[in-house]
Amino acid sequence: MKALVFDKSKYNWEFSRGFELVDVPEPVLGAGDEDKIIIKVYYAGVCGTDKGIWNRMAFKDAILNSIEADLDAGRKRRDNAYRIIGHEFFGEVKAVGLAVKDIKVGDMVACESHVVDNKCYQCLHGQKNVCTNEKILGISVDGGFAEYAKVPAQVAWKTDVNKIRPQIAAMQEPFGNAVHAASKVDLKDKTVAIFGLGPIAQFLVLIAKGLGAKTIIGVEPNDQAIEMGKKLGVDHLIKLDVAQAPGLPYKHNQQIIDQILKLTNGLGVDVAFEMAGFNDSVNNAIASVRRGGDVILFGLKTGDFVFEDFNKLVMKGITMHCVAGRQIWGTWEITKKLMEDKSNQVQEKLWSVLLNSGAGTILNIADYSKEKFEEMMNEHPKFLIKF
């Protein structure tokens, strides 16, 4: 079968880029796979994590160490030590293990990307999204950028294609990230700032509107993302001029904060969502929020960050929330309700705005090349691979 992989046996992590389109064995259910299923993948979503892996800027240790573990366990050969990338995907169940009870052949499913152990302290106390021993599809185990995927049945989420179109069904996993972020505080009648309008943040715009946010302020440097945010319902858009941001790399941008204060009559926003993962963006979020407000941290970067004026952070009584993954399965239930409800136009806007009604945003695997994939990453905040 065709699959997009990083192959440790053929490429050095530091001196390579992209994914290789290769033929690999089609997965089968064998001894030890009683709790697994095989999915015929229809669509897979490309996200920021995949872009980070493409550019060798993310998940190096997780990928290389897990491939080595596969080699030690005899699951991979030394001359073919690959990881199938991809953690957002949707398809049809083609085979089920003997111990699988709730999933059957023919079911249409999306996948939760976190494979949890169901045994650790977090899993036993309602925090599966931060499982101590989690594995992640497409990173620490083979994922869904392939014609077929073998996954634990526990990660499969049944989806009604009569209510959610397959292309949108493939985006339930990342949409759930935004649902989780939005669920940290009550957004009804709140003034909200969103720093960074990437795909997850665009989902967040729709969700915040649906949850009754009074005003949404978006801060973003990219013109295309700004235009998309406008179509999805951002009330005030502030273009961040990265080149002219004053001060040290970690410092907040006072020009941005002044604009936000003006829009909020000097008060600041009730809730600030940091969705970009840059140190200065984190400090922008903190500086923008009112006394007693909330900051939601979702964007990711590796390394140390600097908080400006820690005394002010504490004395303003700001509450900070860190968001990891999705709540299993709470945010999936909310995602289902939002997407199946035609009256809120969430599904329609995801299709017509974020995916441009499929025009230029769906890459057939037969047409894959590194050049084409990179071109689509540069042109579209979100796109899908069709298998």
Cα(66)–Cα(85) distance, integer angstroms: 13
Cα(178)–Cα(356) distance, integer angstroms: 20
pLDDT confidence bin for 65, thresholds 50/70/90: very high
Tens digit of each residue's pLDDT (9 = 90 or more) over 128-172: 999 999 999 999 999 999 999 999 999 999 999 999 999 999 999
Cα(64)–Cα(214) distance, integer angstroms: 46
Tens digit of each residue's pLDDT (9 = 90 or more) over 358-378: 999 999 999 999 999 999 999
pLDDT confidence bin for 26, thresholds 50/70/90: very high
Show the domains of the chain with their CATH numbers. Answer: 2-174+327-386 (3.90.180.10), 185-322 (3.40.50.720)
Tens digit of each residue's pLDDT (9 = 90 or more) over 195-223: 999 999 999 999 999 999 999 999 999 99
- Give the H or E element holding residue 261: helix 254-263
Could you tell me the end-to-end alpha-carbon distance of the chain, in angstroms, rounded to an integer? Answer: 10
Compute how many other C-beta atoms are within 10 angstroms of the C-beta atom of residue 142. 25
247, pLDDT greater than 70: no
73, pLDDT greater than 90: no
As given in the structure block, the two tokens for residue 198 are: 């990437």
Cα(53)–Cα(56) distance, integer angstroms: 5
Half-sphere exposure of 87 (CA within 13 A, CB side): 23
Report which DSSP code applies to 353: I
* CB neighbour list of residue 67: distance below 8 Å, 6 or more residues apart: 8, 76, 81, 82, 83
* CB neighbour list of residue 161: distance below 8 Å, 6 or more residues apart: 108, 169
